[in-house]
Amino acid sequence: MGNNKKSHRANILDNLLAGVTPPKIETKEEVNIAKDSDFDKKITIKEEFKSLIPPLSADEYKKLEENIVADGCRDSLVLWDKETEYILIDGHNRYKICQENSVRFNVYLVKFPDADSAKDWMLNNQLGKRNVTDDTKSYLRGMQYAREKKKVGQNQFTIERNPDTPAKSTAEKLAEIHKVSEPTIIRDNKYAVTLNKITFENDELRWNILNKIISITKNAILLLADESDETLLEIGKKLAEGQTLAEIQKELTKKPVDNIEIHIKQTQKDINVFLTKAIKQKSILHLIEAEKILQKIRSEIEKKEN
C-alpha cells in the first residue's frame, strides 16, 4: 500500500470543480504494483474511456518514454475498481510504455457507481492538466456543460442548492470555475456539439482537428453549427479523406439541390432584402424580385422530387 500522504491526483479529485455536481466516488486507494503481478493482468482498456484522453504526438510520446525508462513511472495510473476487473481511466500512454519496457508502476484505485461518473472524473482530470491545448479545453468544457445539463433533466439549473441562495445556471458555475465568461461556456458547448457531429464516431479525426493536425479553426467549426447533421457528417468524411474545408465548401455549393435547407439559407437573405425594400418603398418591383427567388426554389424542389 502507498503512504497516507494525499497525492496530487487525490487533491484534483477532491477539490476540482467545487459547486458543480462532483464525480461520484465511493472509495479510493493507492497501491504499489509490480509489472509482472497478477493484478496487472486484470487491467482493462476500453475504447469509450480511452477516446476521452488527448493523444500524444510522436515527439511527446518519445519524450515520455525516455523519462519513464530513465526515472521510472512517477505518476500513478488511475483505475476504476470494478472488483472483477480494473478499467484504465488515466495513464494509457504510461501503461503502454511500462508494459513495453517492464517498468514497475503504482495504481490509484477508484470505485465509481457507473460509467458516467467515471467519464465525469476523466473530463475534470483533463481540465486540471497544464499541457491541454486551448481548443481541447474549449471542447472539454463544452462536453462538461452538456453532461451537467443532462444530469438535471435537460434543465441548465442544478437541483441541489441552498433554497435561500439564488440558482446559478450550469454556464455560470462553469464560468466561475474555469475563469471564463458565461458566453464562452455556451460557445464551448456549441463547438463541442458541432465537432462531435463532424467527427461522428471517428476519434482520430476529432483529435487531429483539436491538435491542429487537420487545419480547421475553432471559429470555422462554430460557423458550421447551423448546418444539418447530414452536411456536417459529409464534411467530416471529406476532412478524413484529406480535403480542406475550403475545398469541401466549394463542392457543397455546387450541389444546391442536394440539401434544400442549405439553399434556402443561402437565398433567405436576398428575399428579406427585397421584402424590406418593398415594404419601405411600397415597391411592387421588389415583391416581384422576391417572388422570382421563391419560384426558383420551387422549381429546384420539383426537379429533386422528380
Residues 182, 242 share a domain: yes
Same domain, residue pair 146 and 126: no
Q: Where are the beta strands (DSSP E) in 130-258?
A: none
User: Got the DSSP string for 83-142?
Assistant: SS-EEEEE-HHHHHHHHHHT--EEEEEE--SSHHHHHHHHHHHHHT-TT--HHHHHHHHH
| Cα dist from 146 to 139, 168, 170, 177, 178, whole Å | 11, 16, 9, 16, 15
CB neighbourhood size of 272 (10 A) = 11
For residues 32 and 97, membership in a common domain is answered with yes
Indicate whether 156 and 248 sit together in one domain: yes
Answer whether residue 79 is part of any domain. Answer: yes
Residues 196, 275, single domain; the answer is: no
In this predicted model, which residue has the larger pLDDT, 237 or 306? 237
pLDDT over 90 for what percent of the chain?
37
Q: Are residues 121 and 163 in the same domain?
A: no
Percent of the chain with pLDDT over 70: 66
Q: Are 201 and 288 part of one and the same domain?
A: no
Segment 109-114 shows an average pLDDT of 90
Whichever domain contains 33, its CATH number is: 3.90.1530
Predicted confidence (pLDDT) per residue in 228-271, tens digit: 999 999 999 999 999 998 888 888 776 543 444 545 555 565 66
Quote the pLDDT of residue 189: 95
Confidence of residue 132 (pLDDT cuts 50, 70, 90): confident
pLDDT at 14 over 50: no
Q: Using the 8-state DSSP alphabet, how is residue 57 labeled?
A: P
pLDDT confidence of residue 50: 92
Q: Please say which residue of 131, 160, 193 terminates a domain.
A: 131
Distance CA 23, CA 229 (A): 31
**Locus of grid cell 456543460:** 145
The answer as to whether 1 is a domain residue is no
Residue written as cell 475550403?
A: 246
Does the structure show a pLDDT above 70 at 21?
no
pLDDT for residue 139 is more than 90:
yes
The reply to whether 241 and 278 lie within a common domain is: no
For residue 43, what is the enclosing H or E element? strand 43-44
pLDDT, greater one: 31 or 53:
53
Residue 45 CA to residue 88 CA, distance in Å, equals 6
User: What does the chain come to in residues?
Assistant: 306
pTM exceeding 0.85: no
Q: Look at residue 277 and tell me whether its pLDDT is greater than 70.
A: no
pLDDT at 159: 36
Domain assignment of residue 59, yes or no: yes
In this structure, the strands spanning 77-81 and 28-33 are: unpaired
pLDDT tens readout for residues 149-193: 887 654 444 434 444 444 578 888 899 988 999 999 999 999 999
Question: pLDDT category, 303, cuts 50, 70, 90?
Answer: low
List the one residue out of 222, 175, 170, 176 whose CA is nearest residue 195.
222
Does the pLDDT of residue 60 top 80, yes or no?
Answer: yes
CB atoms within 10 A of CB 300: 14
Same domain (yes/no): 162, 80? no
The CA distance from 21 to 144, in Å, is 10
In this structure, is the dihedral angle defined by the CA atoms of residues 111, 43, 133 and 8, taken in order, positive or negative? positive
Torsion angle defined by CA atoms of residues 13, 16, 18 and 19, in that order, rounded to the nearest 10 degrees? -100
- Residue 64 in any domain: the answer is yes
Average pLDDT over residues 21-30: 49
Does position 296 have pLDDT exceeding 90, yes or no?
no
In this predicted model, what pLDDT tens digit does every residue of 183-223 receive, in sequence order?
999 999 999 999 999 998 899 999 999 988 998 999 999 99
Q: Quick one: 227 exposed, middle or buried, by C-beta within 10 A (0-12, 13-18, 19+)?
A: buried
Cα 36 versus chain centre, distance: 36
Count of structural domains, the chain: 3
Cell digits for 270? 436576398
Domain range spanning residue 180?
135-253
- Domain assignment present for residue 2? The answer is no
